[in-house]
Structure 1
């Protein structure tokens, strides 16, 4: 049953607006702080290590940056740290719980530049007593920040004739999702009441007024019970287009639902069957593929023997409703608890593994079945840190980069230019790469490289399209063709100093005279700790979030194993 109400708020500043450009900008969601002092940064072209932080949270975590990716604030639901990694004054007790599954999220305040709203949910360990709360903080010139208002309870008062007054029912579960409204400006904050079948969608947008729109929908399974209240845990996520929700409900399993971004209504619940091999585990993490066609769920347990296998299962949500529930394919099975799943800015899904020193990763999440390529410990965390259960909460339409990339080398007219498709999944004879060389010539290959000769000098845009087991992806690059005879053997120049100050001159560690993508690049600080590692380098290391000083690089050619070692000084 749906109930749509215009309701007064105990808190008159509940509704918030998120500018339409926010979710399209990569910066605000490009930094993650989570687990035990763990973190990472999604740079323009690669994922980078960040220094350890003081955050230690088993589950709840959220981070917000500015539009260019500079850190602003992060939280574990109980406390808030600033960009200097110091506690924001008076933000040491904001009402959430670090063991709440999706215990906090940070969003910019409406029409108030420099102000941010932190929504928190309490944990079952605290009997969910604090419910949904809101803290407002603002950025200060010194970067330390200050609290404007703190721990304001979000009590949604609805008429008795519609539903029991939510003002006397503050027990929300540990789940929440931010879903973009159909108007592309606002959001819905979707959560669920404890010991009920009721989803609550709060209209987040327009202005800080004394009214806001709430939609309560009875749909799907009952959220209550479970050993130690475990059914209050589990992830609630929305598909990238906002039209589907997936909700993990601990021992009760998982349900897939439809969502209307225009009205906030939830409907058409269907249960997703647990594969027989995963019997006895409970549903926890959930993430949709970038194209929204596939859903990944983790099934785990922290109380069973260490030898118990735990799973990530993939479902095809394109199938008819009667078939979706039984479409699960196991793509990962490990003895370590597999917990939160989250889509990264690079278009890959990251998986937190209890107490491990790295994150697992699904390399090609749009691909059905094992060819999605689940890689255990694909991203090593900064030494001294490790993941626990949680990963940061992001809006459903937070942007991501296409995983397919292309690279090419400059040549002289008449010479063969080699163009490469990067990050390509394992190919079979049924896969096709379609190349458009920018001069009216096209070609098809089943290999990740192609060659083409340009008769005339110029600059040509090359486009490559991958067609892989029903998946399509596209990337572009440029080929510079110099006049015949103007090419000389390249001089290899590897800088020993870079000055990443934003002036676009000597800002990055660039391998001049080498084909960077042919080299694996690892960079270490003076204590030997890795700060950057990538399989196919893209001339893009800018020492983001690293202090000035001397660093050591180790380059390994991906084909013949040649190595180049040296030092580079970062001057700021």
Structure 2
């Protein structure tokens, strides 16, 4: 009985510690916009220095304290100043998912910033190293722009390996149907990717490289938005042990498919599409959010925006899905994303940004199944 008494408090401590890990609580994005989910309810942050049209990423401690953020070109420290060597990363503020931050599995002080160039440009997929012990604990970038592969589309996402330590970073080759998966371990970033030839070709005019890539909450599925001229959303299976992508399923056409996000329970996929403003067909000229039921394959529009353009979708720590609206002082909000159809509760003016404005991007994070 005494032994159980000591084990039980230890178990409770473990549970509480796990719940205290909040690495997705802080978002910086858009035109100096930001959000904090630390209280459970998102509140605007007005201290951000970054203006980015699309991709961005934020790094925090596991308790949710700010470390740095980036648009794939500049790295700002927690005092909202550029790091001394953090000004010339080779991503782009006009790339859908221009930057993604991955903590080094072997060190609490090292982070990798992965970047992708816009529109299939030659700069390709690269990574830079942030060392938080430098500049008196504010961090700096001792190594930058290490090339992995070129060219690539504007797609970038990551998920934790089943071993609980390593991380898979995924991108998509340009003029190809190949996904590339790089494993990040305590030894660093793997030099050779796992390649999977599956699904649609990402090719054509450079703007066709536009569109997001996301993992499901359990890491077993992957979704992509493929912009002009494919105009579709695709869903794949993913093996977190091997890094292989397989079993493509396609949904469309949906003109100018851009953002994707899974519901918290993984049963639904949401996508944003901006239609074709030159079209005379109302069904394809509307800015809308669609919902795909991954079990029944039913596809329904669940919301329309008053904005001419909407962009990224991002699931928040509160289980809601947030929608970037270009040059708007509100984010759209899908309040109950596990629910089928319009009852999921999309609200266009869903979350006020305290006078700051969204663009097309929201920060992405490593998915932790």
- TM-score, normalised relative to structure 2: 0.88
| Equivalent in the alignment of 1:231 | 208
Q: In the alignment, is the contact (CA less than 8 A) between 2:104 and 2:185 conserved in 1?
A: no
1:304-383, aligned counterparts within 5 Å?
304=278, 308-319=285-296, 324=297, 327-336=298-307, 337-383=309-355
Q: Does 1:137 align with 2:130?
A: yes
1:452-491, aligned counterparts within 5 Å?
none
CA distances 1:398-448 after superposition (whole Å, capped 9, x unpaired): 7xxxxxxxxxxxxxxxxxxxxxxxxxxxxxxxxxxxxxxxxxxxxxxxxxx
Q: Please point out which of 377, 386, 390 is paired with 2:357.
A: 386
Q: Does 1:289 align with 2:282?
A: no
- Displacement of 1:23 in angstroms is 9.1
Q: Does 1:241 align with 2:234?
A: no
2 CA distance for matches of 1:86 and 1:181?
A: 33
CA distances 1:483-519 after superposition (whole Å, capped 9, x unpaired): xxxxxxxxxxxxxxxxxxxxxxxxxxxxxxxxxxxxx
1:23-42, aligned counterparts within 5 Å?
26-42=21-37
Alpha carbons of structure 1 residues 23 and 96: separation in structure 2 relative to 1, 3 Å: farther
Alpha carbons of structure 1 residues 81 and 302: separation in structure 2 relative to 1, 3 Å: farther
| Equivalent in the alignment of 2:108 | 113
| Equivalent in the alignment of 2:141 | 147
2 CA distance for matches of 1:199 and 1:246?
A: 12
- Displacement of 1:362 in angstroms is 0.4
Alpha carbons of structure 1 residues 42 and 304: separation in structure 2 relative to 1, 3 Å: farther
| Equivalent in the alignment of 1:45 | 40
- Displacement of 1:265 in angstroms is 1.0
Rg (Cα) greater in structure: 1
| Equivalent in the alignment of 1:122 | 117
Q: Does 1:264 align with 2:243?
A: yes
Alpha carbons of structure 1 residues 47 and 375: separation in structure 2 relative to 1, 3 Å: same
CA distances 1:368-387 after superposition (whole Å, capped 9, x unpaired): 1111100111110021x201
Alpha carbons of structure 1 residues 55 and 112: separation in structure 2 relative to 1, 3 Å: same
| Equivalent in the alignment of 2:166 | 186
Alpha carbons of structure 1 residues 310 and 66: separation in structure 2 relative to 1, 3 Å: same
1:196-211, aligned counterparts within 5 Å?
196-208=176-188
CA RMSD of aligned residues (A): 2.2
Alpha carbons of structure 1 residues 241 and 61: separation in structure 2 relative to 1, 3 Å: same
Q: In the alignment, is the contact (CA less than 8 A) between 1:23 and 1:397 conserved in 2?
A: no
Structure 1 gaps, min length 5: 1-20, 156-169, 399-572
CA distances 1:447-474 after superposition (whole Å, capped 9, x unpaired): xxxxxxxxxxxxxxxxxxxxxxxxxxxx
1 CA distance for matches of 2:214 and 2:19?
A: 19
Alpha carbons of structure 1 residues 269 and 52: separation in structure 2 relative to 1, 3 Å: same
- Displacement of 1:24 in angstroms is 6.9
Residue 188 of structure 2 aligns to a residue in which SS? Answer: coil
Aligned residues: 346
| Equivalent in the alignment of 2:157 | 177
Alpha carbons of structure 1 residues 113 and 26: separation in structure 2 relative to 1, 3 Å: closer
Residue 203 of structure 1 aligns to a residue in which SS? Answer: strand
1 CA distance for matches of 2:173 and 2:18?
A: 27
Q: Does 1:298 align with 2:269?
A: no
1 CA distance for matches of 2:80 and 2:18?
A: 25
Q: Please point out which of 71, 76, 100 is paired with 2:71.
A: 76
2 CA distance for matches of 1:379 and 1:267?
A: 37
Alpha carbons of structure 1 residues 148 and 129: separation in structure 2 relative to 1, 3 Å: same
- Displacement of 1:395 in angstroms is 1.8
Query: Higher relative CO (CA 8 A, sep ≥ 6), structure 1 or 2?
Result: 2
Q: In the alignment, is the contact (CA less than 8 A) between 2:220 and 2:239 conserved in 1?
A: yes
1:66-105, aligned counterparts within 5 Å?
66-105=61-100
Residue 370 of structure 1 aligns to a residue in which SS? Answer: helix
Residue 154 of structure 1 aligns to a residue in which SS? Answer: strand
Q: In the alignment, is the contact (CA less than 8 A) between 2:33 and 2:44 conserved in 1?
A: no
Alpha carbons of structure 1 residues 345 and 26: separation in structure 2 relative to 1, 3 Å: farther
Residue 315 of structure 1 aligns to a residue in which SS? Answer: strand
